[in-house]
Structure formats: structure tokens, C-alpha cells
Amino acid sequence: MAFYHPVLFALDAERAHRLTIRALALRGKLGTPYTPNPLPWPRLASTVAGLYFPNPLGIAAGVDKDGEAIDGLFSLDVGAVEIGTLTPLPQSGNPKPRLFRLVKDRAVVNRFGFNNGGLAAALPRVAAASRLGSRGRIGINVGANKDSADRIADYALGVAGAAPVADYVTINISSPNTPGLRDLQSSAALRDLLAACAQARGDTPLFLKVAPDLDATEIDDVVRAAADHRVDAIIIGNTTISRPALRSANGTETGGLSGAPLAPLARQRLGDFRRATGGAITLIAAGGIGDAAEAYARIRAGASLIQFYTALVYEGPGLPARMLRDLDALLARDGFAHVAEAVGIDA
């Protein structure tokens, strides 16, 4: 995946993605001028899970799997960058090709399979990133190795390693591209997982990322388990294995679908989680968010923070700045002094 440019779109999607990450890493190393978010957008700042976020926009996990371009991503004016998914051991992921653009649908299908260089290689990059003060928050998204004999132990190891250097840690049990991983969303397995991770996190906020394909019973189970184990936020959600009507030929590829076609499902699941939690657990919206109007709708439906990924591919690196400007205008239009006042107003 790569930010839109005719040259990049002429390349294989995964190669273009790698070139984009390298360019962003260079941008960060060169110290591209950065404007602290709280100055132009005071209405957009908020505190979530005890953490100050200069604005609600965040880069979702998957853009920068190994934490190579954190500073470059922050230069896009986002309030948070979540790297990963990181596994305890490096792994190459699924065979290529595994990333497919659906240009007519402004969407993407991927079946990466947690390809990454491993937790130990990425943690020093996070520790070295310039994230102090108003620059934003860094999350680390952790997962289990595909061939692990004990996936819960993998997650606990990931949380324990990430917690000392991350602002928050996300447990990712929502990827459809590692066989059996989503089974950890079931009640008994999830409780064992959360118990282990809660013990490993220390005082670092713990987030849980779930799939948008859950049914009502599964949502209730997730909410109860998250509440019992004091999960600080739930991210809804990852890619979907469902297939709405698509126009692009690559829509038939196996893997998780992201981008504009995911928006209706992700929006519905956010509402489901808001009703199930009664507002007692912080929610973070992801999936099909490509402009301020959609971001604002998710906030009004109950999301305290927003994450996006695929929209950057089609809208380019100027997307966050446009969204911040338009989101601020929407909040001002409706008389909100701070974004937190709008969270869940339509729920």
C-alpha cells in the first residue's frame, strides 16, 4: 500500500508500500518542520485512557509495521501512530502477492499474515522516536507468531516488552490472515488472554482490537471480558472477511478487506459496541474512514479516537490536515468547545 501517486500506483502494491515507508522514514530523519497540533486545533485535543492526545486522528497499525517511520508519520499532523503488528519472533508472513488494490472501490485486500521483523528489533526505534510533549502518542500493536505453540504466552511476552516504551499497547486478535487467531475472540480464550496481558502490562494502558465481523453474542462476551480485565479501550475494528458489492476484480482475492466499502459495517459495529458498553469503555473507530464527515459521525456514535490507513492510499499525505480542518469546523458549527463533548451524542 502506498500514498497515491501515479508512479507508485504503477508498481506492485507491496513494493510501493515499502517505498512509501522509506520515504517517510527519511522525512522523519531530515526533521521535516512539524507544527504542534494543540496550537491550531485546541478544540480537537482530549484525554483518553489517561493519555493526552493532541487530536483524535491516528495512523492504524499496519502502515508502519516495524516502527521505521514514526517521526515521518507524525509530520502528517496526526495525534497518534500505532505501529505493528509485532510478534515475539520475526516472521516473513504469507506468500506474495498478498496486497491488492481495489481502485474502483477505493479499497484494499491484504493477506500479509503479520510479516514483521520481531519485537526486539522494533522497540529501540520506538524508544528513540521524538514523541514528547505535543507530538502525539505511540501505540504498539502486538500479536502471536503463526507457528507458536502458546499464543497467549506470545501476547503476554509482547505486552511485557512493549509496555515500557509505548504510550499504550494494543492486543490484536482481529486479523483474518493468521489461521485460528480470531478464535481468541471467543469468551473463554479471551478471558485467559486478557488475564495474562493485564498482568504483563504494568501501568501502561491496554487496548483490544477486534474484528467487525462479530455477532451480538460475541460482542457481549468481548465487552464483559474487557470490563472484567480493565481493558482501557476497544478498537473497532480490523479488516473484514465479508464482501459487500465490489466493482474491482481484486475483490475476489482472499484476505481482509479495508477501505471505503468497509465503512457501513464498521459504523454498525461501533454502534453495537456503544450499546453493549453503555459508554463505560472507551471506543476507538477504524475501518473505512476517509474524510472528516465520516470521522465526525463515528465520534458522535461513540468513538473517542479515530484510526485510518487505506484512505491515505487514495487521498494522499495531505488527508490528515484536511480532516483536522474540516472536523474542527463541524464541531464549531454544532457548538462543541471540545471534541470530547461530541463523543456518543447520537448514541
Please give the Cα distance from 209 to 232 (Å, whole number). 11
Residues contacting 335, CB < 8 A, separation 6+: none
3-state secondary structure of 110: strand
Please give the Cα distance from 123 to 84 (Å, whole number). 11
**CA 151 to each of CA 52, 178, 241, 295, 335: distance values in angstroms, whole numbers, following the listed order:** 32, 11, 22, 34, 47
Please give the Cα distance from 40 to 46 (Å, whole number). 14
The answer to whether residues 320 and 78 touch, using CB atoms and an 8 Å cutoff, is yes
The residue annotated as part of the active site, out of 175, 248, 258, 304, is 175
175 is catalytic: yes
At 131, the amino acid letter reads R
What is the β-pairing status of strands 303-308 and 282-286? parallel
Instruction: Please report which helix (H) or strand (E) contains residue 27, including its range.
Output: helix 13-29
Residues with a catalytic annotation lie at 175
